[in-house]
Amino acid sequence: MDKLRTMLKLQQQLNDATNGINWEVGTTKNGKKINWKRCIYMECAEMIDCFAWKHWKNIDAQPDYDNLQIEVVDVWHFVMSFALETYKTNKLGSIETLAEQIAQMPNFELLQEPLEAFEEEMLILITIEAVMRDALEIRASLTKLLFDFFELCRLTKLDMATLYRLYVGKNILNQFRQDHGYKEGHYVKIWNGLEDNAVMKQLWESDAQMSPEVLYAGLKRRYEAL
């Protein structure tokens, strides 16, 4: 449960820094409305684009499984944010309480044992769309959303260790983006033909012992070299 607790705390810190304290009321420090459910289903749509789902275009293209995992981690940011908002606004307890409740979910334990291969494409797509439906509900069930999300993690070979590592990497990338003009609109996302997500993943996987601070420094070197 330590990894889960750490990720929730990192997400709280990122949201506090990006959106301002008390973002849980649904508005950023700049007066912009926040809708985590919309963030979830829009990111899920991007996830679907990792597959050659269009029957009229690139019909023989193979799924982009590396990017698929990154997209799942992107959705995890917003699922956690929705959970943190739900617990704060409904006075359900602390981050510690939230972590304990999530850890007790019936399919959370399945994330401790990764699949040897990605699940069949259609089953992954069905599960992505289940997460989308959860987010589109007017009174979305956090429990149902988490259940379907963890099933999606399992089908896409994201055990807890991998989810944690990719989340921390993306968390650092998000901090880097904010520090380099992402919100203002002048951040460059494509680095020499690669999306910054892919660059982050390359750096993060190049050294199993790399710290988040070293990852940030590596991103900075690559970005300044553009």
Supply the DSSP symbol for 35: -
How many of the other CB atoms lie within 10 Å of CB of 50?
22
pTM of the model: 0.86
Domain boundary assignment for the chain: 2-163
User: By percentage, how much of the chain surpasses pLDDT 90?
Assistant: 72
Q: Whose structure tokens read 């590592």?
A: 165
3-state helix, strand, coil in the chain (%, to 5): 65, 5, 35
> At 146, is the pLDDT very low, low, confident or very high (cuts 50, 70, 90)?
very high
Of the two residues 24 and 161, the one the predictor is more confident about is 24
Residue 190 DSSP SS3: strand
pLDDT of residue 114 exceeding 80, the answer is: no
**Local structure of residue 58 (DSSP, 8 states):** -
Distances (CA, A) of 179 to 18, 54, 136, 152, 187: 10, 37, 32, 31, 9
- Expressed in angstroms, the distance from the first to the final Cα of the chain is 39
Q: How confident is the model at residue 59 (pLDDT cuts 50, 70, 90)?
A: confident
Q: Which of 50, 113, 102 is nearest to 76 (CA)?
A: 102
What average pLDDT does range 183-200 have in this prediction?
A: 91
User: Token pair of 184, please?
Assistant: 């203002």
β-partners of residue 194 are: 191
Distance of CA 42 to the CA centre of its chain: 12
Element (H, E) at 196: helix 196-206
According to the model, what pLDDT value does residue 60 have? Answer: 87
Identify each DSSP E strand in the chain by its residue range: 190-191, 194-195
pLDDT given at position 209: 78
pLDDT winner (highest mean) among 11-20, 73-82, 106-115, 188-197: 73-82
Beta-carbon contacts of 116 under 8 Å, excluding residues fewer than 6 positions away, are none
> What integer best gives the mean pLDDT of the chain?
92
Among 75, 70, 67, CA closest to 42: 75
Quote the CATH superfamily of domain 2-163. Type II deoxyuridine triphosphatase (1.10.4010.10)
